[in-house]
A and B are shown apart, each in its own frame.
Chain A
Amino acid sequence: MKVWKGNLLKMKKSLIVTMALTLSLSLAACGNNTNSANNGNAAATNNAPTNNTASADLSGSILASGSTALQPLVDQVSKEFMEKNTGVSIQVQGGGSGTGLTQVSEGQAQIGNSDVFAEEKLDADKAAELVDHQVAVVAMAAVTNKDVGVDNLTKQQLVDIFTGKVTNWKEVGGKDEKIQIVNRPASSGTRATFEKFALGTKTEDLAGSIQEDASGTVKKLVSETPGAIGYLALSYLDDSVTAVKYEGVDATVDNVAKGTYPVWAYEHMYTKGEPDAATKAFLDYMVSEDVQNDEGDVVEMGYIPISKMEVKRDAAGAVTK
């Protein structure tokens, strides 16, 4: 009996010790994570001149964090890239455009994914240190609940709706139904894009409006709430909501590429200074023909390839052919 008890105690003790060890090890691993990432990159940088051409010899670990709108694409492409370059490990995290830009600016991440130009979130001197890599385009369409009976809205009508001047659908040619706004939080990159290029003005948050950050939630609310209006990226559009024409122009990939549909934004992948070899190879792969062509990940996942764009836009919003 005594022996048995002793054994049990020993077992318990060893269990506790194991647990404590695991905990401290995992903590240590957490602490070292960024360091090892940095070391890996330092190594990659050092090797850069010799390894630049032979992609199979690339090594290093890359942390890409930020925009949740861009995350699925980067995640998908990084998996393919890692299959081809076994020495490189890429971690993709969400967190939002602001987080991505902060982390790349402070050196915690090698790549900062963002829906907006860095100049719009960071101080001018910090933004100047970052190098912009535009990898895709995301277009947005105003969407309404299926029952409102409106399929076209002018810029002025949208402004009136989102500033609360118009509160009933019959005032813009629809049914006699109260308008319910499903907006994004004021800090959201999607909202910034929509306000800048669809409305042309910043709007206040109206009493009674709903705000959600996640596109899936916005779509669910718009499709279920009578009289609801919101905006979604083209990849989220389906039969459950009505995509509204903007000034008579359909929100389609072709119209965006031609520059006739203005509500779109670049998806950016920022690096601090020029990227090291592994990061550069990954960014090059992102904009390569394999990824950007009509069967590639960009199109498949609902983004618009950067190569397709016939117009260009700078941080101030000026469009050039």
Chain B
Amino acid sequence: MKKSNDREVATPHLAEEWVGKVYTFICILFLIITIFSMVYFVASKGLSTFIVNGVNVKDLLTGLKWQPEGEPPIFGALPFIFGSFSTSILAAIIAAPLGFCAAVFMVELSPKLGRTFMQPVIELLAGIPSVVYGFVGLSVIVPLFRDLFPGQGVGIAAGSLVLAFMILPTITTIATDALASLPAGLKEGSYALGATRWQTIYRIVLPTTLPAQMTGIVLGIARAFGEALAVQMVIGNAPHIPHSLFQSTSTLTSAITLSMGNTAMGSVQNNALWSLALILMLMTFVFVFIIRWLEGRKKL
């Protein structure tokens, strides 16, 4: 009696198992094919600047002049690379303390208010479309900087401030998780030794969660590095390394979005933009490796 019952149940489960396996396999295959074809596409397009159009790799990476329509065209992407790094790192420098403090508030100081009010608000930041950030930046931050500082308001300062708000949710969420997963014994021990709350946060909580915090910051930098639209609206887009934080400059992404639609596929101007995309992609890989390395360190 029992045996026959088991068989009835077992057959449909076998089919389910099989369907599940095949479906998962198809999904994974689809993902892998998509990712690899994307990498291949960007790489082949980006490399054809050097192979087909004969642009020197070193000139592209270290050149200071970007004149795609010039006679002859000159492709020096260093201003874009500089712009990308400076805006995203500055954004992380602005956002990291904010994110850490928000996390401390939510986990240590006022969990109730933090969890019910602050966390949803910060997570809401992640849901705002980047064009909205860009437009707010253009309408509020740029005029403000124009009035307060010399220059036209556009530039690295405006770009990184907009980016800082965009990456704040990433940094805060990871910092919150790191603080919450801290063993209670560590803090209790600290309090038992007579340390104040501030001393505990500063001397115990911050150093022990630092690798996790760094992961959040690098993730934030990676996101800032790839953000295009909002930055393009506030950075000014002159292809030059600026002399101040308030002078017009470009990033890799803003250079791509600004010109991609206007250039014809296969032309050297278009291929050069793909080379910028290739640089962006390689940098993203580097960020992923850094994050993995940090995650590995966290477990020790």
Seen from chain A, the residues whose Cβ lies within 8 Å of a Cβ on chain B are 20, 68, 94-99, 101-102, 105-106, 121-122, 180, 185-189, 192, 202, 204-213, 217, 220, 224-225
Contact = CB atoms under 8 A, between A and B. Distances in A.
Contact of B262 (A188, A207, A208, A210): A188
B240 interface: yes
Specify the main secondary structure of chain B where it touches its partner.
loop
Contact of A225 (B66, B146, B264): B146
Nearest to A180: B152
Contact of A209 (B138, B248, B261, B266): B248
B70 A212 contact: no
Contacts of B267: 98, 121-122
A94 B239 CA distance: 25
Given A96-B261, A102-B265, A121-B264, A187 B248 contact: no
Contacts of A102: 264-266
Contacts of B195: none
Given A207-B240, A220-B138, A185 B248 contact: no
Nearest to A211: B237
Nearest to A220: B138
B120 interface: no
Interface of B: 23, 66-71, 138, 143, 146, 151-154, 233, 236-240, 242-243, 247-248, 250, 258-267, 269-270
B15 to A, nearest CB: 13
Nearest to A202: B69
B238 A210 contact: yes
A122 B66 CA distance: 21
25 contacts: A94-B261, A97-B262, A98-B267, A99-B260, A99-B261, A121-B263, A185-B258, A185-B262, A186-B69, A187-B263, A202-B70, A204-B70, A205-B66, A207-B238, A207-B248, A208-B152, A208-B247, A208-B248, A209-B236, A209-B238, A210-B152, A210-B154, A211-B258, A212-B237, A224-B146
Contacts of B240: 205-208
Given A98-B263, A220-B138, A187 B68 contact: yes
Contacts of A105: 264
Contacts of B242: 207-208
A105 to B, nearest CB: 8
B210 to A, nearest CB: 39
B236 A98 contact: no
A283 to B, nearest CB: 22
Nearest to B266: A102
Contact of B248 (A94, A98, A202, A210): A210
A94 B260 CA distance: 12
Nearest to A102: B265
B138 A211 contact: no
A127 to B, nearest CB: 10
